[in-house]
Amino acid sequence: MELQNLTIKEARALLDEKKVTAVELAAAYVERAKKKNGELNAYLEIFDDVNEQAQRADKIIADGGGSMLTGIPLAIKDNILIKGHIASGASKILENYVASYDAHVIEQLKNVGAVFLGRTNMDEFAMGSSTENSAFGPSKNPHDVTRIPGGSSGGSAAAVAGDLAIAGLGTDTGGSVRQPAALCGIVGFKPTYGAVSRYGAMALGSSLDQISPFTKTVEDAEFLFTTIRGIDSRDATALPDTYFSTTTSPKRIGVPKKFLTQGIDEDVLEVFNESLELMKKEGYEVVDIELPNMKYALAAYYIVMPAEASTNLARYDGVRYGVKEEGENLTDDYMQTRGKGFGAESRRRILIGAFVLSSGYADAYYRKATAVRELIRNDFREAFKDVDIIATPTSPTPAFKIGEKANDPLAMYTADIFTVPVNMAGVPAISVPMGTVKREDSALPIGMQFIAPHGADSSLFPIGKDFERIVV
């Protein structure tokens, strides 16, 4: 079976026309995943119940039911709980933890008969931008296996880009779906905060996290988003459908040109500007806008996120579940368990978070960062009074070499410069392939990021589809 670039829409047609069964489709992906995963390290585990899941999907189809996602093989990030399967967050501290319930998004997908191929690699507890922080080794970029696939959802991105799954799910806290999507040449869509329930996703930054889809096309992202979105009483931040605006066709694009002058590779900026010129020829208006506080987003994010992370990760102490190390006393139990169970980056962010929340420092750091966050939100509100969409590159560079920035956390953090403001403001954004740039002998993908107002998720799909058509 030809799996290269197979989309949800195309697979749906094959299934509906009885040209292939869900069992055959799933088996083809499992075979390819087992063959290629040694090279890419995209999956931490390929599930042994894939055939059983696919049989259920075939029964749904035979009974005349189902939806766009029935029988579609998906890759699921290792921090999204699937009942009866290990969910480790790519950490040694949860290496053997078996989920006792399904995440809301998994319930939604099970209801329509989607097939989960396996759990994918990631930066430990989603802390990273390269998937190098996984306790189980880095994932590799399918376009050049000497390079990172991005992070923290790099395993899902590599699985979809490498045709080891048709689509997948990740979590996006500061760009962890959009950035790897851009570096792997696929589509990554981060919904409005609250559009998709976070129930059953391991919390990193509770005010920032959002479960998000990886797909081959913008249309596929819309299919997957439509299935997983919706109100959930178990997530107090979930927004009702009435909050969201109906589909529009945006035509006025704002570009924060002053923010695109530093830290971005020249060839990435050149392709970005050429892409905007193509959009102009298609009838889009491109105007310069001001986002004066966007330059502070990264600094504020790396206070807010570690603060929330240190609180959320306090539960992983080996007492109720996960790996436990025996010490001389209870306090030493905690220190031994967390010291050995967490990797270096997780420990770094936990310590930063504990510091900025500590007595005497919360006012100087955490509360100031939350005030800056409100300024960033207001910048977006003001900008969207004059434009329909804001455009930036998704990442300032293409994928870098594995190990290249491993000892320079600050350089690693700057990979999120264009994606972090979106999470700080809670607005939706999509990364769409924008072409490639050359590095050595490789043509490496880069992405265009479109940002929409809060609740205007549906407006990103028409412009994304247009951009796919124009650029290709």
Q: Catalytic site residue 77?
A: yes
What is the pLDDT at residue 327?
Answer: 87
Helices (runs of H) and strands (runs of E) counted in the chain: 15, 11
How sure is the predictor about 336, in pLDDT bands with cuts at 50, 70 and 90?
Answer: confident
Report whether pLDDT(2) > 80.
yes
What rounded mean pLDDT belongs to the chain?
Answer: 95
Q: Give the per-residue pLDDT at 335.
A: 85
> What is the band of 318 on the pLDDT scale with cuts at 50, 70, 90?
confident
Residue 27's contacts (CB-CB under 8 Å, 6 or more residues apart) are 50, 51, 54
State the catalytic residue, choosing from 91, 129, 139, 152: 152
Q: Is the pLDDT of residue 338 over 90?
A: no
- CB under 8 A, 24+ apart: contacts of 356-361: 356/303, 356/306, 356/307, 357/307, 357/310, 357/311
Mean pLDDT of 147-161: 98
Report which of 424, 426, 307 is spatially closest to residue 358, judged by C-alpha positions. Answer: 307
Mean pLDDT of 250-254: 96
**Confidence class of residue 42 from pLDDT cuts 50, 70 and 90?**
very high
Is-contact 90 154, C-beta < 8 A? no
DSSP letter, residue 82? -
Q: Which of 63-67, 240-244, 395-399 has the highest mean pLDDT?
A: 395-399
Matching residue, tokens 């009702």: 240
**Catalytic residue, candidates 91, 134, 153, 176:** 176
Instruction: State the pLDDT confidence band at 319, using cuts at 50, 70 and 90.
Output: confident
Q: How far is it, in rounded angstroms, from Cα 472 to Cα 469? A: 5
In the chain, what are the domain boundaries? 1-472
At the topology level, CATH places domain 1-472 in: Amidase signature (AS) enzymes (3.90.1300)
Active-site residue identified among 36, 77, 140, 190: 77
Enter the tokens of residue 344. 């270096």
**% the chain with pLDDT above 70:** 100
Residue 317 has pLDDT above 90, yes or no: no
pLDDT at 330: 82
Is 176 a known active-site residue?
yes
- Whether 38 has a pLDDT exceeding 80, the answer reads yes
In this prediction, residue 261 has a pLDDT band, given cuts at 50, 70 and 90, of: confident
Q: Does residue 310 have an active-site annotation? A: no
